[in-house]
Amino acid sequence: MEPLGLVVHGKAEPFSTALRSLVNNPRYSDVRFVVGQERQEVFAHRCLLACRCNFFQRLLGTEPGPGVPSPVVLSTVPTEAFLAVLEFLYTNSVKLHRHSVAVTFGLGQLQERCVAFIEAHSQEALRTRGFLELSAAALLPLLRSDKLCVDEAELVRAARSWARVGAAVLERPVAEVAAPVVKELRLALLAPAELSALEEQNRQEPLIPVEQIVEAWKCHALRRGDEARGAPCRRRRGTLPREHHRFLDLSFK
C-alpha cells in the first residue's frame, strides 16, 4: 500500500484573480465571439470553456481549421450577460446585476443563483431587456417560483410583453410564443374585475388559452380552491391580498 501523499492547497484568491484577468483578454485567446445586437467582440479560451460547460463543449467540439478561425456569433445574447457567464466559468464566482441574469448556458448552479437573484429583485428584473430576451425554457422556472416578489397582475403584463417581443423576432403569433409558459400564470389569484379585464384583452390579443381563464372563473364561482388546488391558486411572495383569497384557503409556501 502506497503511503498517503501530502495535499497542498494554495490560496484561492490569487488563483481566481489570475483567471479573471483572462476574461475577454485577447492574450492566448483561441476563440472569438461576436455578441449581442452591438456585435461586440469577446475573446475566450477554448479548452477552459469546453471543460467547464457542456454547452460550449458541444459548440466548440470541432477543431478549428488552419488560419484565423471565424468568430462564433451569438447575436441574441446580451453582452453583459455573456461576460458574466464567462467570469463564472473562469473563476467559479460572479457578482450578479439585474442586467446580467438572462443567460446561463445550462449551468445549473449559476441558473439557481440567477433565479434566486430575480426572486429577490423581481420588479426590477421584469423591466429589463434581459427579461424580454429570455428563452421559454429560462422563463419557466421563474414563473413556477413561489418566491417572486411581484403581484400576479404585473407578472401577467410582463409575460405579455415577453411574448410580444418573441412574436416579433420569430414572426409567430403571440399566443403561439406564449403557449409553453402562460400555463404557469396563477390567474385565480386575480380579483374578478382584473380577470374580466384580462379576458377582454385576451379577446383582442390572444395570449392565454380560454380554458385556463375558465378554470380561474371556476375558483371564483365555487369560492374554494379545491377544484384547482396547487400552483394555480398558490400565492407568491409578492402576491397582493384580495378579498376572495380567504375563500381559496391560500397559504404562502
- Shared domain check, 118 and 101: no
Mean per-residue pLDDT of the chain: 83
The pLDDT score that the predictor gives to residue 233 is 76
pLDDT tens digits along 168-198 = 878 899 999 999 999 999 999 999 999 999 9
- Shared domain check, 74 and 167: no
pLDDT tens digits along 18-73 = 999 999 999 889 999 998 878 999 999 999 998 988 888 888 877 666 666 788 89
Give the C-alpha distances (Å, rounded to integers) separating 60 from 69, 71, 98, 191.
Answer: 11, 11, 29, 51
The pLDDT score that the predictor gives to residue 68 is 66
- Shared domain check, 99 and 120: no
User: How large is the angle between the packed helices 108-120 and 136-143, nearest 10 degrees?
Assistant: 50
- Shared domain check, 178 and 76: no
- Shared domain check, 111 and 100: no
- Shared domain check, 237 and 175: yes
pLDDT tens digits along 112-160 = 777 888 888 888 888 887 788 788 888 888 899 999 999 999 999 999 9
CATH of the domain at 76: 3.30.710.10
- Shared domain check, 153 and 214: yes
- Shared domain check, 112 and 36: no
The residue range of the domain holding 33 is: 19-58+69-105
pLDDT tens digits along 215-245 = 899 888 876 554 444 446 788 999 999 988 8
- Shared domain check, 111 and 98: no
Residue with cell 411581484: 150
Q: Is residue 130 part of a domain?
A: yes
Is the Cα dihedral 20, 21, 25, 26 positive or negative? negative
- Shared domain check, 131 and 169: yes
CA-nearest of 40, 29, 15, 20 to 84 is 20
- Shared domain check, 222 and 123: yes
